[in-house]
Structure 1
Amino acid sequence: MFAISRCFRLSRCLPAFRRGLSESSQSGPRTLVAIDFDRTIVEQDSYLAVSQLLPTRQRKEMQNLIPKCGWLNFISRVLQLLHSEHKVNFATVAMRVRSLRAVPGMLRVVRRLARIPEVELCIVSDANSFFIDEWLQAYDIECLFAGGVFTNPACVQASGAVLVLPYQEQGDCELCPFNLCKGSVLEELTCSGRYERVIYVGDSCNDLCAMKRLREKDVACIRRGYELHGKIAAHGQELACSVLTWRDGHELVELLMPKIVA
Protein backbone atom coordinates (compact mmCIF):
# COMPACT_ATOMS: atom_id res chain seq x y z
CA MET A 1 0.00 0.00 0.00
CA PHE A 2 2.88 2.39 0.79
CA ALA A 3 6.20 2.75 -0.95
CA ILE A 4 8.66 2.58 1.91
CA SER A 5 12.31 3.54 1.59
CA ARG A 6 13.36 3.20 5.19
CA CYS A 7 11.57 0.97 7.69
CA PHE A 8 12.12 1.14 11.41
CA ARG A 9 12.03 -1.85 13.66
CA LEU A 10 8.53 -3.05 14.39
CA SER A 11 7.90 -3.28 18.11
CA ARG A 12 6.56 -6.84 17.96
CA CYS A 13 9.57 -8.19 16.04
CA LEU A 14 12.43 -6.45 17.81
CA PRO A 15 11.87 -7.74 21.37
CA ALA A 16 11.92 -11.38 20.27
CA PHE A 17 15.21 -10.84 18.43
CA ARG A 18 16.84 -9.07 21.36
CA ARG A 19 15.63 -11.61 23.89
CA GLY A 20 17.21 -14.31 21.80
CA LEU A 21 20.57 -12.60 22.05
CA SER A 22 20.28 -12.30 25.82
CA GLU A 23 19.13 -15.86 26.40
CA SER A 24 22.18 -17.24 24.68
CA SER A 25 24.51 -15.58 27.19
CA GLN A 26 22.53 -15.40 30.46
CA SER A 27 20.50 -17.79 32.55
CA GLY A 28 18.94 -17.81 36.00
CA PRO A 29 16.64 -15.28 37.70
CA ARG A 30 16.45 -11.94 35.91
CA THR A 31 15.02 -8.50 36.64
CA LEU A 32 13.30 -6.51 33.92
CA VAL A 33 13.46 -2.72 34.16
CA ALA A 34 10.73 -1.32 31.89
CA ILE A 35 10.97 2.41 31.25
CA ASP A 36 8.61 4.91 29.67
CA PHE A 37 10.17 7.33 27.13
CA ASP A 38 8.52 10.77 27.14
CA ARG A 39 9.18 12.76 30.33
CA THR A 40 10.88 9.71 31.81
CA ILE A 41 13.94 9.17 29.62
CA VAL A 42 13.66 12.45 27.72
CA GLU A 43 12.60 15.62 29.52
CA GLN A 44 10.08 16.83 26.94
CA ASP A 45 7.15 15.08 25.31
CA SER A 46 8.53 14.07 21.91
CA TYR A 47 5.22 14.60 20.09
CA LEU A 48 4.89 18.16 21.39
CA ALA A 49 8.54 18.82 20.58
CA VAL A 50 8.09 17.77 16.96
CA SER A 51 4.89 19.82 16.70
CA GLN A 52 7.02 22.90 17.44
CA LEU A 53 8.28 22.63 13.86
CA LEU A 54 4.85 23.91 12.82
CA PRO A 55 4.00 27.63 12.79
CA THR A 56 2.71 28.74 16.21
CA ARG A 57 -0.92 29.21 15.24
CA GLN A 58 -1.15 25.89 13.42
CA ARG A 59 0.58 24.10 16.29
CA LYS A 60 -1.93 25.41 18.81
CA GLU A 61 -4.82 24.37 16.58
CA MET A 62 -3.38 20.85 16.39
CA GLN A 63 -2.86 20.64 20.15
CA ASN A 64 -6.50 21.52 20.73
CA LEU A 65 -7.39 18.27 18.95
CA ILE A 66 -5.53 16.03 21.43
CA PRO A 67 -8.38 15.57 23.97
CA LYS A 68 -10.79 14.58 21.20
CA CYS A 69 -8.58 12.65 18.78
CA GLY A 70 -5.76 11.30 20.96
CA TRP A 71 -1.98 11.51 20.75
CA LEU A 72 -1.47 9.09 17.85
CA ASN A 73 -3.88 10.94 15.58
CA PHE A 74 -2.30 14.21 16.72
CA ILE A 75 1.24 13.26 15.72
CA SER A 76 0.02 11.64 12.50
CA ARG A 77 -1.65 14.90 11.50
CA VAL A 78 1.38 16.95 12.58
CA LEU A 79 3.74 14.83 10.48
CA GLN A 80 1.40 15.02 7.52
CA LEU A 81 1.21 18.83 7.73
CA LEU A 82 4.95 19.17 8.17
CA HIS A 83 5.59 17.20 5.00
CA SER A 84 2.76 18.33 2.74
CA GLU A 85 2.50 22.02 3.66
CA HIS A 86 5.93 22.91 5.01
CA LYS A 87 8.20 20.51 3.08
CA VAL A 88 9.73 19.14 6.28
CA ASN A 89 11.04 15.61 5.71
CA PHE A 90 12.13 12.83 8.06
CA ALA A 91 15.68 14.16 8.40
CA THR A 92 14.50 17.42 9.96
CA VAL A 93 12.10 15.55 12.24
CA ALA A 94 14.95 13.25 13.26
CA MET A 95 17.18 16.23 14.10
CA ARG A 96 14.44 17.69 16.30
CA VAL A 97 14.03 14.42 18.19
CA ARG A 98 17.78 13.96 18.59
CA SER A 99 17.99 17.42 20.18
CA LEU A 100 15.72 16.45 23.08
CA ARG A 101 17.48 16.61 26.43
CA ALA A 102 17.61 13.55 28.63
CA VAL A 103 16.07 13.72 32.08
CA PRO A 104 19.04 14.67 34.30
CA GLY A 105 20.87 11.53 35.35
CA MET A 106 18.77 9.17 33.23
CA LEU A 107 21.62 8.23 30.91
CA ARG A 108 23.57 7.25 34.02
CA VAL A 109 20.64 5.09 35.15
CA VAL A 110 20.41 3.26 31.84
CA ARG A 111 24.14 2.68 31.45
CA ARG A 112 24.60 1.54 35.03
CA LEU A 113 21.67 -0.87 35.00
CA ALA A 114 22.75 -2.30 31.64
CA ARG A 115 26.08 -3.33 33.17
CA ILE A 116 24.35 -5.63 35.69
CA PRO A 117 24.23 -9.15 34.19
CA GLU A 118 20.94 -10.07 35.87
CA VAL A 119 19.13 -6.96 34.61
CA GLU A 120 17.42 -6.49 31.26
CA LEU A 121 16.09 -3.12 30.06
CA CYS A 122 13.14 -2.39 27.82
CA ILE A 123 11.10 0.64 26.76
CA VAL A 124 7.29 0.74 26.84
CA SER A 125 6.09 3.94 25.23
CA ASP A 126 3.22 5.55 23.36
CA ALA A 127 5.76 7.45 21.26
CA ASN A 128 6.94 5.60 18.13
CA SER A 129 9.88 3.59 16.87
CA PHE A 130 11.20 6.38 14.61
CA PHE A 131 11.47 8.93 17.42
CA ILE A 132 12.83 6.45 19.97
CA ASP A 133 15.35 4.86 17.62
CA GLU A 134 16.68 8.24 16.50
CA TRP A 135 17.15 9.42 20.08
CA LEU A 136 18.78 6.20 21.31
CA GLN A 137 21.13 6.20 18.33
CA ALA A 138 22.11 9.80 19.04
CA TYR A 139 23.45 8.66 22.42
CA ASP A 140 24.67 5.28 21.17
CA ILE A 141 22.57 3.39 23.71
CA GLU A 142 20.10 1.47 21.53
CA CYS A 143 21.96 -1.80 22.22
CA LEU A 144 21.38 -1.43 25.97
CA PHE A 145 17.66 -2.18 25.71
CA ALA A 146 18.00 -5.94 25.32
CA GLY A 147 14.40 -6.49 26.42
CA GLY A 148 13.07 -4.61 23.41
CA VAL A 149 11.16 -1.45 22.53
CA PHE A 150 7.38 -1.77 22.75
CA THR A 151 5.89 1.21 20.93
CA ASN A 152 3.96 2.31 17.87
CA PRO A 153 5.86 1.22 14.74
CA ALA A 154 6.89 3.92 12.28
CA CYS A 155 8.51 4.10 8.88
CA VAL A 156 9.73 6.66 6.39
CA GLN A 157 7.92 6.60 3.05
CA ALA A 158 9.63 7.09 -0.27
CA SER A 159 8.34 10.67 -0.27
CA GLY A 160 10.30 11.42 2.90
CA ALA A 161 7.23 11.61 5.14
CA VAL A 162 7.16 9.77 8.46
CA LEU A 163 4.26 7.35 8.88
CA VAL A 164 3.24 6.22 12.38
CA LEU A 165 1.00 3.19 12.87
CA PRO A 166 -0.75 1.86 16.00
CA TYR A 167 0.98 -0.82 18.04
CA GLN A 168 -2.40 -2.52 18.50
CA GLU A 169 -6.10 -1.75 18.44
CA GLN A 170 -7.75 -2.24 21.81
CA GLY A 171 -10.97 -1.10 23.44
CA ASP A 172 -10.89 -2.88 26.78
CA CYS A 173 -8.58 -0.58 28.76
CA GLU A 174 -9.91 2.85 29.73
CA LEU A 175 -6.59 4.01 31.18
CA CYS A 176 -4.74 3.64 27.87
CA PRO A 177 -5.35 4.91 24.33
CA PHE A 178 -6.82 2.68 21.65
CA ASN A 179 -3.43 2.10 20.04
CA LEU A 180 -1.41 0.81 23.02
CA CYS A 181 -2.34 -0.74 26.35
CA LYS A 182 0.81 -0.69 28.45
CA GLY A 183 -0.79 -3.06 30.91
CA SER A 184 -1.18 -5.77 28.28
CA VAL A 185 2.51 -5.41 27.38
CA LEU A 186 3.56 -5.78 31.02
CA GLU A 187 1.21 -8.70 31.56
CA GLU A 188 2.72 -10.53 28.61
CA LEU A 189 6.21 -9.91 29.94
CA THR A 190 5.45 -10.94 33.52
CA CYS A 191 3.56 -14.06 32.43
CA SER A 192 6.40 -15.17 30.17
CA GLY A 193 8.22 -16.65 33.16
CA ARG A 194 11.41 -15.01 31.99
CA TYR A 195 11.65 -12.40 34.75
CA GLU A 196 11.68 -13.03 38.48
CA ARG A 197 10.94 -9.37 39.13
CA VAL A 198 9.83 -6.31 37.16
CA ILE A 199 10.64 -2.68 37.89
CA TYR A 200 8.53 -0.15 35.97
CA VAL A 201 9.50 3.51 35.63
CA GLY A 202 7.02 6.12 34.39
CA ASP A 203 5.25 9.43 34.87
CA SER A 204 1.78 9.31 33.27
CA CYS A 205 -1.62 7.81 33.92
CA ASN A 206 -1.24 5.26 31.13
CA ASP A 207 1.78 4.01 33.09
CA LEU A 208 -0.63 3.30 35.96
CA CYS A 209 -2.21 0.58 33.82
CA ALA A 210 1.14 -1.16 33.57
CA MET A 211 1.88 -0.67 37.27
CA LYS A 212 -1.43 -2.29 38.20
CA ARG A 213 -0.17 -5.51 36.58
CA LEU A 214 2.91 -5.61 38.81
CA ARG A 215 3.16 -8.16 41.62
CA GLU A 216 4.07 -7.79 45.28
CA LYS A 217 7.76 -8.41 44.59
CA ASP A 218 7.83 -5.83 41.77
CA VAL A 219 8.50 -2.09 42.03
CA ALA A 220 6.75 0.93 40.51
CA CYS A 221 8.87 4.07 40.18
CA ILE A 222 6.74 7.21 39.76
CA ARG A 223 8.25 10.55 38.81
CA ARG A 224 7.38 13.30 41.27
CA GLY A 225 5.74 16.46 39.99
CA TYR A 226 4.15 14.82 36.97
CA GLU A 227 0.68 13.55 36.07
CA LEU A 228 0.67 10.17 37.78
CA HIS A 229 2.29 11.38 40.99
CA GLY A 230 -0.54 13.83 41.49
CA LYS A 231 -3.13 11.07 41.20
CA ILE A 232 -1.43 8.12 42.86
CA ALA A 233 -2.97 8.89 46.27
CA ALA A 234 -6.36 7.95 44.82
CA HIS A 235 -5.01 4.78 43.17
CA GLY A 236 -2.29 3.59 45.53
CA GLN A 237 -4.44 0.83 46.99
CA GLU A 238 -4.86 -0.64 43.51
CA LEU A 239 -1.15 -1.47 43.36
CA ALA A 240 0.18 -4.73 44.77
CA CYS A 241 3.81 -3.72 44.23
CA SER A 242 6.00 -1.42 46.27
CA VAL A 243 6.23 2.20 45.13
CA LEU A 244 9.18 4.59 44.85
CA THR A 245 9.01 8.23 43.83
CA TRP A 246 11.87 10.01 42.12
CA ARG A 247 12.72 13.48 40.86
CA ASP A 248 15.54 12.78 38.39
CA GLY A 249 17.86 9.99 37.31
CA HIS A 250 20.44 10.78 39.97
CA GLU A 251 17.88 10.10 42.69
CA LEU A 252 16.38 7.14 40.84
CA VAL A 253 19.63 5.23 40.54
CA GLU A 254 20.35 5.66 44.26
CA LEU A 255 16.89 4.32 45.11
CA LEU A 256 17.04 1.39 42.69
CA MET A 257 20.53 0.01 43.24
CA PRO A 258 19.88 -1.36 46.78
CA LYS A 259 16.77 -3.14 45.52
CA ILE A 260 18.55 -4.68 42.53
CA VAL A 261 21.76 -5.81 44.23
CA ALA A 262 20.05 -6.94 47.44
Structure 2
Amino acid sequence: MFSILKIIRLGRCLSGIRRGLSQSNPLTPRILAAIDFDKTIIEQDSYVAVSQLLPPKQCKELVNLIPKSGWLGFISRVLQLLHSEHKVNYASVGMRVRHLQAVPGMLRVLRQLARNPEVDLCIVSDANSFFIEEWLKQYAIECLFAGVFTNPACIQASGEVLVLPYQEQTDCELCPSNLCKGSVLEELISSGRYKRVVYVGDSCNDLCAMKRLRAKDIGCIRRGYEMYGKMAAHAGDLSCSVVTWRDGHELEMLLMPKIVS
Protein backbone atom coordinates (compact mmCIF):
# COMPACT_ATOMS: atom_id res chain seq x y z
CA MET A 1 0.00 0.00 0.00
CA PHE A 2 2.87 2.49 0.66
CA SER A 3 4.65 3.46 -2.54
CA ILE A 4 7.92 4.87 -1.17
CA LEU A 5 7.97 2.52 1.78
CA LYS A 6 10.19 -0.55 2.11
CA ILE A 7 7.59 -3.18 2.90
CA ILE A 8 8.66 -6.10 5.07
CA ARG A 9 9.46 -9.07 2.84
CA LEU A 10 9.15 -12.72 3.78
CA GLY A 11 12.64 -14.16 3.86
CA ARG A 12 15.85 -14.30 5.80
CA CYS A 13 16.71 -10.58 5.65
CA LEU A 14 14.02 -8.42 7.21
CA SER A 15 14.28 -4.64 6.94
CA GLY A 16 12.94 -1.88 9.15
CA ILE A 17 10.58 0.38 7.25
CA ARG A 18 11.06 4.10 6.85
CA ARG A 19 8.11 6.06 5.55
CA GLY A 20 5.59 6.09 2.77
CA LEU A 21 2.36 7.15 1.15
CA SER A 22 -0.63 5.19 -0.03
CA GLN A 23 -0.73 4.09 -3.65
CA SER A 24 -4.29 5.36 -3.90
CA ASN A 25 -5.16 8.80 -5.25
CA PRO A 26 -2.70 11.18 -3.51
CA LEU A 27 -5.31 13.96 -3.63
CA THR A 28 -7.70 11.97 -1.43
CA PRO A 29 -6.99 12.59 2.29
CA ARG A 30 -6.72 9.38 4.26
CA ILE A 31 -6.58 8.16 7.85
CA LEU A 32 -3.40 6.72 9.34
CA ALA A 33 -3.76 4.18 12.15
CA ALA A 34 -0.35 3.67 13.77
CA ILE A 35 -0.11 1.04 16.50
CA ASP A 36 2.61 -0.07 18.89
CA PHE A 37 3.38 -3.81 19.13
CA ASP A 38 4.54 -4.89 22.62
CA LYS A 39 1.81 -4.63 25.28
CA THR A 40 -0.48 -2.98 22.73
CA ILE A 41 -1.07 -5.60 20.04
CA ILE A 42 0.46 -8.45 22.03
CA GLU A 43 -0.07 -8.81 25.77
CA GLN A 44 3.55 -9.46 26.72
CA ASP A 45 6.82 -7.72 25.93
CA SER A 46 8.37 -9.81 23.13
CA TYR A 47 11.96 -9.13 24.27
CA VAL A 48 11.21 -10.32 27.79
CA ALA A 49 9.40 -13.37 26.44
CA VAL A 50 12.35 -14.41 24.26
CA SER A 51 14.81 -13.79 27.10
CA GLN A 52 12.91 -16.39 29.13
CA LEU A 53 14.36 -19.05 26.81
CA LEU A 54 17.59 -18.51 28.77
CA PRO A 55 18.19 -20.13 32.18
CA PRO A 56 16.50 -17.98 34.88
CA LYS A 57 19.75 -16.84 36.51
CA GLN A 58 21.29 -15.75 33.22
CA CYS A 59 18.07 -14.02 32.21
CA LYS A 60 17.92 -12.07 35.48
CA GLU A 61 21.52 -10.91 35.09
CA LEU A 62 20.78 -9.53 31.64
CA VAL A 63 17.59 -7.78 32.77
CA ASN A 64 19.65 -5.91 35.36
CA LEU A 65 21.78 -4.51 32.54
CA ILE A 66 18.86 -2.89 30.66
CA PRO A 67 19.26 0.57 32.28
CA LYS A 68 22.83 0.68 30.93
CA SER A 69 22.59 -1.19 27.62
CA GLY A 70 19.02 -0.34 26.62
CA TRP A 71 16.46 -2.75 25.20
CA LEU A 72 18.25 -3.15 21.88
CA GLY A 73 21.50 -4.05 23.63
CA PHE A 74 19.56 -6.40 25.89
CA ILE A 75 17.90 -8.39 23.12
CA SER A 76 21.11 -8.46 21.07
CA ARG A 77 22.91 -10.10 23.97
CA VAL A 78 19.98 -12.47 24.61
CA LEU A 79 19.98 -13.65 21.00
CA GLN A 80 23.74 -14.03 21.00
CA LEU A 81 23.72 -16.18 24.14
CA LEU A 82 20.78 -18.27 22.97
CA HIS A 83 22.65 -19.16 19.82
CA SER A 84 26.22 -19.52 21.08
CA GLU A 85 25.68 -21.14 24.48
CA HIS A 86 22.29 -22.83 24.21
CA LYS A 87 22.11 -23.73 20.49
CA VAL A 88 18.76 -21.97 20.06
CA ASN A 89 18.39 -20.79 16.45
CA TYR A 90 16.03 -18.40 14.72
CA ALA A 91 13.32 -21.05 14.25
CA SER A 92 13.02 -21.64 18.00
CA VAL A 93 13.08 -17.92 18.71
CA GLY A 94 10.38 -17.40 16.10
CA MET A 95 8.24 -20.14 17.61
CA ARG A 96 8.45 -18.48 21.02
CA VAL A 97 7.22 -15.20 19.53
CA ARG A 98 4.45 -16.91 17.56
CA HIS A 99 2.98 -18.29 20.79
CA LEU A 100 2.59 -14.86 22.42
CA GLN A 101 -1.03 -13.95 23.08
CA ALA A 102 -2.78 -10.99 21.51
CA VAL A 103 -4.35 -8.36 23.74
CA PRO A 104 -7.99 -9.52 24.03
CA GLY A 105 -10.06 -8.09 21.19
CA MET A 106 -7.08 -6.54 19.39
CA LEU A 107 -7.13 -8.88 16.39
CA ARG A 108 -10.71 -7.78 15.71
CA VAL A 109 -9.68 -4.11 15.95
CA LEU A 110 -6.85 -4.61 13.46
CA ARG A 111 -9.09 -6.40 10.98
CA GLN A 112 -11.77 -3.71 11.26
CA LEU A 113 -9.25 -0.93 10.67
CA ALA A 114 -7.77 -2.75 7.68
CA ARG A 115 -11.21 -3.23 6.11
CA ASN A 116 -11.80 0.52 6.08
CA PRO A 117 -10.80 1.67 2.56
CA GLU A 118 -9.75 5.09 3.91
CA VAL A 119 -7.28 3.69 6.46
CA ASP A 120 -3.56 2.96 6.13
CA LEU A 121 -2.65 0.62 9.01
CA CYS A 122 0.92 0.38 10.26
CA ILE A 123 2.97 -0.70 13.26
CA VAL A 124 5.51 1.58 14.97
CA SER A 125 7.56 -0.48 17.40
CA ASP A 126 10.90 -0.71 19.20
CA ALA A 127 10.75 -4.50 18.78
CA ASN A 128 12.21 -5.80 15.50
CA SER A 129 11.11 -6.95 12.08
CA PHE A 130 11.75 -10.65 12.72
CA PHE A 131 9.67 -10.84 15.90
CA ILE A 132 6.82 -8.79 14.45
CA GLU A 133 6.68 -10.68 11.17
CA GLU A 134 6.72 -14.06 12.90
CA TRP A 135 3.77 -13.05 15.05
CA LEU A 136 1.79 -11.54 12.18
CA LYS A 137 2.30 -14.69 10.11
CA GLN A 138 1.05 -16.83 12.98
CA TYR A 139 -2.32 -15.10 12.74
CA ALA A 140 -2.17 -14.65 8.94
CA ILE A 141 -2.61 -10.88 9.25
CA GLU A 142 0.64 -9.61 7.73
CA CYS A 143 -1.36 -8.53 4.66
CA LEU A 144 -3.38 -6.08 6.77
CA PHE A 145 -0.47 -3.70 7.27
CA ALA A 146 0.81 -1.08 4.90
CA GLY A 147 4.12 -1.27 6.71
CA VAL A 148 6.08 -1.67 9.92
CA PHE A 149 8.47 0.94 11.30
CA THR A 150 10.87 -0.97 13.51
CA ASN A 151 14.44 -2.15 14.06
CA PRO A 152 15.60 -4.32 11.14
CA ALA A 153 16.61 -7.93 11.80
CA CYS A 154 18.68 -10.34 9.74
CA ILE A 155 19.00 -14.10 10.07
CA GLN A 156 22.65 -14.94 9.67
CA ALA A 157 23.93 -18.06 7.91
CA SER A 158 24.66 -19.59 11.32
CA GLY A 159 20.98 -19.33 12.30
CA GLU A 160 21.49 -16.49 14.77
CA VAL A 161 19.12 -13.50 14.67
CA LEU A 162 20.90 -10.17 14.42
CA VAL A 163 18.95 -7.02 15.35
CA LEU A 164 20.15 -3.61 14.16
CA PRO A 165 19.02 -0.08 15.07
CA TYR A 166 16.33 1.59 12.98
CA GLN A 167 18.21 4.87 13.33
CA GLU A 168 20.80 6.68 15.44
CA GLN A 169 19.33 9.69 17.25
CA THR A 170 20.33 11.86 20.19
CA ASP A 171 17.62 14.54 20.10
CA CYS A 172 14.77 12.74 21.89
CA GLU A 173 14.99 11.91 25.59
CA LEU A 174 11.69 10.01 25.67
CA CYS A 175 12.87 7.44 23.12
CA PRO A 176 15.93 5.20 22.89
CA SER A 177 18.79 6.19 20.59
CA ASN A 178 17.82 3.49 18.06
CA LEU A 179 14.25 4.68 17.37
CA CYS A 180 12.36 7.92 17.96
CA LYS A 181 8.70 7.19 17.34
CA GLY A 182 7.95 10.89 17.29
CA SER A 183 10.21 11.38 14.27
CA VAL A 184 8.38 8.58 12.45
CA LEU A 185 5.01 10.23 13.07
CA GLU A 186 6.34 13.67 12.20
CA GLU A 187 7.50 12.47 8.77
CA LEU A 188 4.17 10.85 8.03
CA ILE A 189 2.13 13.84 9.17
CA SER A 190 4.33 16.33 7.30
CA SER A 191 3.60 14.46 4.06
CA GLY A 192 0.19 16.12 4.14
CA ARG A 193 -1.34 12.80 3.21
CA TYR A 194 -3.50 12.21 6.27
CA LYS A 195 -6.60 14.11 7.31
CA ARG A 196 -6.50 12.26 10.64
CA VAL A 197 -3.97 10.14 12.53
CA VAL A 198 -4.81 7.62 15.22
CA TYR A 199 -1.96 6.41 17.42
CA VAL A 200 -2.32 3.52 19.88
CA GLY A 201 0.30 2.72 22.51
CA ASP A 202 1.28 2.15 26.12
CA SER A 203 4.79 3.47 26.90
CA CYS A 204 6.84 6.67 27.06
CA ASN A 205 8.18 6.40 23.53
CA ASP A 206 4.54 6.25 22.42
CA LEU A 207 4.04 9.50 24.32
CA CYS A 208 6.73 11.01 22.10
CA ALA A 209 4.72 9.98 19.05
CA MET A 210 1.49 11.34 20.47
CA LYS A 211 3.12 14.72 21.11
CA ARG A 212 3.35 15.11 17.32
CA LEU A 213 -0.40 14.61 16.82
CA ARG A 214 -2.69 17.49 15.90
CA ALA A 215 -6.00 18.61 17.41
CA LYS A 216 -7.96 16.53 14.89
CA ASP A 217 -5.92 13.39 15.68
CA ILE A 218 -6.55 10.76 18.37
CA GLY A 219 -4.15 9.33 20.94
CA CYS A 220 -5.22 6.00 22.46
CA ILE A 221 -3.47 5.26 25.76
CA ARG A 222 -3.66 1.86 27.44
CA ARG A 223 -4.73 2.11 31.07
CA GLY A 224 -2.54 0.54 33.74
CA TYR A 225 0.69 0.87 31.75
CA GLU A 226 3.68 3.22 31.70
CA MET A 227 2.30 6.11 29.68
CA TYR A 228 -1.04 6.19 31.48
CA GLY A 229 0.80 6.60 34.78
CA LYS A 230 2.68 9.62 33.44
CA MET A 231 -0.25 11.39 31.83
CA ALA A 232 -0.86 13.70 34.80
CA ALA A 233 2.54 15.26 34.12
CA HIS A 234 2.28 15.29 30.32
CA ALA A 235 -1.40 15.86 29.50
CA GLY A 236 -0.69 19.51 28.73
CA ASP A 237 1.85 18.48 26.09
CA LEU A 238 -0.78 16.82 23.89
CA SER A 239 -2.81 18.67 21.27
CA CYS A 240 -4.79 15.60 20.18
CA SER A 241 -7.93 14.20 21.72
CA VAL A 242 -7.23 11.28 24.06
CA VAL A 243 -9.06 8.05 24.80
CA THR A 244 -7.96 5.43 27.29
CA TRP A 245 -8.56 1.73 26.85
CA ARG A 246 -8.09 -1.52 28.75
CA ASP A 247 -8.31 -4.11 25.96
CA GLY A 248 -9.24 -4.39 22.30
CA HIS A 249 -12.93 -4.75 23.05
CA GLU A 250 -13.01 -1.38 24.79
CA LEU A 251 -10.74 0.19 22.17
CA GLU A 252 -13.13 -0.94 19.44
CA MET A 253 -16.09 0.59 21.24
CA LEU A 254 -14.31 3.92 21.79
CA LEU A 255 -12.38 4.23 18.55
CA MET A 256 -14.51 2.93 15.71
CA PRO A 257 -17.23 5.64 15.96
CA LYS A 258 -14.47 8.27 15.77
CA ILE A 259 -12.83 6.65 12.73
CA VAL A 260 -16.02 6.70 10.69
CA SER A 261 -17.13 10.15 11.82
- Do both share a fold (TM > 0.5)? yes
**Alpha-carbon contact 2:222-2:246 (below 8 Å) kept:** yes
Within 5 Å, give how 1:233-252 maps onto structure 2.
233-252=232-251
| Paired amino acid for 1:72 | L
- Counterpart residue number, 1:150: 149
Report the Cα distance in structure 2 between the residues aligned to 1:212 and 1:121, rounded to whole angstroms.
19
Deviation for aligned residue 1:27: 5.8
Secondary structure of the 1:70 match is: helix
**Alpha-carbon contact 1:26-1:117 (below 8 Å) kept:** no
Secondary structure of the 1:40 match is: coil
| Paired amino acid for 2:187 | E
Secondary structure of the 1:102 match is: coil
| Paired amino acid for 1:41 | I
- Counterpart residue number, 1:115: 115
Matched, 1:212 2:211: yes
| Paired amino acid for 1:142 | E
Q: Which runs of 4+ in 1 moved over 2 A?
A: 24-27
Secondary structure of the 1:197 match is: strand
Cα distance 1:26–1:257, how it changes in 2: closer, same or farther (>3 A)?
Answer: farther
Deviation for aligned residue 1:120: 1.1
Within 5 Å, give how 1:133-212 maps onto structure 2.
133-146=133-146, 148-212=147-211
Matching residue within 12, 18, 43 for 1:6: 12
Deviation for aligned residue 1:78: 0.2
Secondary structure of the 1:23 match is: coil
**Alpha-carbon contact 2:26-2:193 (below 8 Å) kept:** no
| Paired amino acid for 1:62 | L
Report the Cα distance in structure 1 between the residues aligned to 2:243 and 2:170, rounded to whole angstroms.
30
Deviation for aligned residue 1:9: 3.2
Matched, 1:79 2:79: yes
Listed one character per residue, the Cα deviations across residues 8-41 of structure 1 (whole Å, up to 9, x for unaligned) are 13323xx54xx4xx42478612110100000000
Which ranges of structure 1 fall in alignment gaps of 5 or more residues?
none
- Counterpart residue number, 1:105: 105
Report the Cα distance in structure 2 between the residues aligned to 1:35 and 1:208, rounded to whole angstroms.
12
| Paired amino acid for 1:47 | Y
Report the Cα distance in structure 2 between the residues aligned to 1:259 and 1:98, rounded to whole angstroms.
32
Deviation for aligned residue 1:143: 1.0
Deviation for aligned residue 1:251: 0.4
Report the Cα distance in structure 2 between the residues aligned to 1:10 and 1:243, rounded to whole angstroms.
28
| Paired amino acid for 2:252 | V
Deviation for aligned residue 1:195: 0.8
- Counterpart residue number, 1:129: 129
- Counterpart residue number, 1:34: 34
Which ranges of structure 2 fall in alignment gaps of 5 or more residues?
1-10
Please give the TM-score of this superposition, normalised by the length of structure 2: 0.94
Identity %: 76
**Alpha-carbon contact 2:30-2:194 (below 8 Å) kept:** yes
| Paired amino acid for 2:100 | L
Report the Cα distance in structure 2 between the residues aligned to 1:156 and 1:108, rounded to whole angstroms.
31
Cα distance 1:141–1:25, how it changes in 2: closer, same or farther (>3 A)?
Answer: farther
- Counterpart residue number, 2:46: 46
Please give the TM-score of this superposition, normalised by the length of structure 1: 0.93
- Counterpart residue number, 1:62: 62
Report the Cα distance in structure 1 between the residues aligned to 2:72 and 2:174, rounded to whole angstroms.
15
**Alpha-carbon contact 2:15-2:151 (below 8 Å) kept:** no
Report the Cα distance in structure 2 between the residues aligned to 1:48 and 1:81, rounded to whole angstroms.
14
